[in-house]
Structure 1
Amino acid sequence: MRKPALFLALAVVIAALIWLIGRNPPDLDMLREQLIDLDAWRVERPLLVAALFFAAYVAVTALSLPLAVWMTLAAGALFGFGWGLVLVSFASTIGATLAFLAARYLLSDWVHGRFGNRLQAIDEGMTRDGAFYLFTLRLIPAVPFFAINLLMGLTPIKAWVFYLVSQIGMLAGTAVYVNAGTQLAQLESLSGILSPPLILSFLLLGFFPWIAKFALRLVKRRRAHAGWSRPARYDRNLVVIGAGAAGLVSAYIAAAVKAKVTLVESHKMGGDCLNYGCVPSKALIRSAKLAHQMRHADRYGLAATRPEFSFRGIFERIQAVIAAIEPHDSVARYEGLGVDVRRGHARLIDPWTVQITDDAGNAERLTTRAVILATGAAPFVPPLPGLDAVGYLTSDTLWEEMAQREAGPKRLVVLGGGPIGCELAQSFARLGSEVTQVEMLPRLLIREDEEVSALVKASMEADGVTVLTGHRARACGITDGEKWIEVEAGGKTRRIAFDDLLVAVGRAARLDGYGLEELGIPTGKVIETNEYLETLYPNILAAGDAAGPFQFTHTAAHQAWFATVNALFGKFKRFRADYRVIPWATFTDPEIARVGLNEAEARERKIPYEITRYGIDDLDRAIADAAAQGFVKVLTRPGKDEILGVTIAGEHAGDLIAEFVFAMKQGHGLGKILSTIHIYPTLAEANKFAAGEWRKAHVNPTALRLLERFHAWRRG
Structure 2
Amino acid sequence: MKAVSKFDLCVIGAGSGGLSVAAGAAQMGARVVLIEKGKMGGDCLNYGCVPSKALLAAAHKAHDMHDGKEFGMKQTGLEINFRSVHNHIHDVIEGIAPHDSVERFEGLGVTVIKSKAKFMDARRVRAGSKVIMPRNTIIATGSSAALPDIPGLADIDYLTNETVFDLTRAPRHIVIIGGGPLGVEMAQALRRLGSEVTILEAKRLLPKIDHELAEVVAAQLRKEGIRVVEETNIIQISQRRSNAVIHIADGKSVRDIEASHVLVATGRRPNLDELDLDKAGVLFSDSGIEVDRRLRTSNKRVFAIGDVIGGIQQTHAAGYHAGIVLRNTLFRLPAKADLSVMPRAIYTSPEIAEVGLTESEASQLHSTVQSLKWSFDDNDRARAERDMEGLVKVVVTKSGKILGAGIVGKNAGDLITPWTLAMQEDLKISSMANLIAAYPTRSEASKRAAGSFYAPTLFGKGTRRLVRFLSMFG
Report the TM range for the smaller structure's normalisation: over 0.9
Structure 1 residues 479 and 324: CA distance shift in structure 2, 3 A: closer
1:348 and 1:302 mapped to 2: Cα distance?
Answer: 62
Residues 182-221 of structure 1 aligned to structure 2 (within 5 Å): none
Partner of 1:473: 234
Whether the 8 Å CA contact 2:187–2:226 is kept in 1: the answer is yes
Show the counterpart of 1:656. 415
Amino acid corresponding to residue 575 of structure 1 in structure 2: A
What CA distance in whole angstroms lies between the structure 2 residues aligned with 1:622 and 1:487?
Answer: 40
SS of 1:694's partner is coil
Contact 1:642/1:670 (8 A) holds in 2: yes
Q: Which residue of 1 aligns with 2:189?
A: 427
Matched, 1:460 2:221: yes
Aligned mates of 1:519, 1:332 — CA distance in 2: 30
1:710 deviation in Å? 2.0
Asked if structure 1 preserves the Cα contact closer than 8 Å seen for 2:10 and 2:33, the reply is: yes
The question of whether the paired residues in 2 share the 8 Å contact of 1:636 and 1:642 is answered with: yes
SS at match of 2:387: coil
Matched, 1:710 2:463: no
> Aligned residue for 2:434?
675
Deviations 1:665-697 (A, max 9, x none): 112223222323222112222222222222323
1:247 is displaced (CA, Å) by 0.3
The more displaced of 530-539 and 311-320 is 530-539
Q: Which residue of 2 aligns with 1:240?
A: 11
CA contact (8 A) 1:413 1:438 kept: yes
Other-structure match for 1:527:
289
Partner of 1:259: 30
| Equivalent in 283, 292, 309 of residue 54 of structure 2 | 283
Structure-2 separation of matches of 1:554 and 1:273:
10
**Which residue of 1 is the match for residue 368 of structure 2?**
608
**1 CA distance for matches of 2:298 and 2:429?**
43
- Write out aligned runs for 1:477-626 (5 A): 477-490=238-251, 492-524=253-285, 525-570=287-332, 573-626=333-386
Distance 1:299 1:330 in 2: 46
Query: Residues of 2 paired with 1:383 and 1:680: CA distance?
Result: 52
Question: In the superposition, relative to structure 1, how do residues 287 and 534 fare at CA in structure 2: closer, same or farther (>3 Å)?
Answer: same
CA distance in 1, matches of 2:158, 2:289: 28
- State whether residues 174 and 198 of structure 2, in contact with CA within 8 Å, keep that contact through their aligned partners in structure 1: yes
In structure 2, the partner of 1:145 is none
**Structure 1 residue 520 displacement after superposition:** 4.0
Q: Does 1:366 align with 2:132?
A: yes
Matched residue SS, 1:332: helix
1:126 corresponding residue in structure 2? none
Q: How does 1:345-364 map to 2 (within 5 A)?
A: 345-357=116-128, 363-364=129-130
Q: Is the 8 A contact 1:418 1:446 kept in 2?
A: yes
Identity %: 38
Separation of aligned partners in 1, 2:81 and 2:376:
35
The 3-state SS of whatever aligns with 1:237 is strand
CA-based RMSD: 1.8
Structure 2 Cα separation of the partners of residues 664 and 713 of structure 1: 42
| CA gap 1:481/1:303 in 2 versus in 1, 3 angstroms | closer
Q: CA deviation at 1:460?
A: 0.2
Instruction: Work out which of the residue numbers 371, 383, 387 in structure 1 matches 2:153.
Output: 387
Bigger share in strand: 2
- C-alpha distance in 2, partners of 1:292/1:665? 37
Q: State whether residues 229 and 250 of structure 2, in contact with CA within 8 Å, keep that contact through their aligned partners in structure 1.
A: no
* Contact 1:245–1:553 under 8 Å retained in 2: yes
CA displacement 1:512-540 (0-9 Å, x = unmatched): 10121333422112011222212221101
Q: Which amino acid aligns with 1:555?
A: A
Per-residue CA deviations over 1:527-555 (Å, capped at 9, x if unaligned) read: 11222212221101111100122211111
Q: TM-score with structure 1 length normalisation?
A: 0.64
Higher relative contact order (CA closer than 8 Å, sequence separation 6+) = 2
Conserved 8 A contact 2:3-2:131 = no
Q: CA 1:234–1:564 in structure 2 vs 1: closer, same or farther (change >3 Å)?
A: farther
1:482 and 1:315, CA in 2 relative to 1: closer, same or farther beyond 3 A? closer
Measured in 2, the distance between the counterparts of 1:271 and 1:609 equals: 41
Deviations 1:251-285 (A, max 9, x none): 12221331101111111111111111111111111
Partner amino acid, structure 2, of 1:380? A
Give, in angstroms, the shift of residue 300 of structure 1.
Answer: 2.0
Moved more, 448-457 or 517-526: 517-526
SS in 1 for 2:78: coil
Other-structure match for 1:634: 394
Aligned to 1:350, the other structure's residue is in SS state coil
Change (3 A) 1:509 1:698: farther
Change in 2 beyond 3 A, CA 1:480/1:393: closer
2:109 to 338, 357, 369: 338
Cα deviation, 1:85-129, whole Å, max 9, x if unaligned, reads xxxxxxxxxxxxxxxxxxxxxxxxxxxxxxxxxxxxxxxxxxxxx
Kept in 1, the 8 Å contact 2:280–2:299? The answer is no
1:688 to 447, 451, 454: 447
In structure 2, runs of 5+ residues without a counterpart are none
Confirm or deny: 8 A CA contact 1:240 1:373 kept in the other structure.
yes
Instruction: Name the amino acid aligned to 2:407.
Output: I
SS at match of 1:235: strand
Amino acid at match of 1:377: S
- For 1:589 and 1:479, the matched residues in 2 are separated by 34
- Which structure 1 residue ranges, 5 or more long, are not aligned? 1-230, 358-362
The one-character-per-residue Cα deviations of 1:375-420 (angstroms, maximum 9, x if unpaired) are 00000111211112221000111112x1xx2x30111100001011
Please tell me whether the aligned partners of residues 370 and 568 of structure 1 are also in contact (alpha carbons under 8 angstroms).
no
How many residue pairs get aligned? The number is 471
Preserved contact between residue 297 and residue 305 of structure 1 (Cα < 8 Å): no
Cα gap change, 1:476 to 1:232, in 2 (>3 Å): closer
1:584-607: per-residue Cα shift (whole Å, max 9, x none)? Answer: 111111111001111111123245
Equivalent residue for 1:415, pick from 150, 154, 177? 177
- C-alpha separation between the residues in 1 aligned to 2:112 and 2:49? 23
1:508 to 1:596, Cα distance in 2 relative to 1, 3 A: same
The structure carrying a bigger helix percent of its residues is 1
Look up the match of 1:197: none
Shift of 1:480: 4.7
Q: In 2, distance between residues paired with 1:569 and 1:484? A: 57
Q: Is the 8 A contact 1:237 1:260 kept in 2?
A: yes
TM-score by structure 2 length? 0.95
The structure that has the greater radius of gyration is: 1
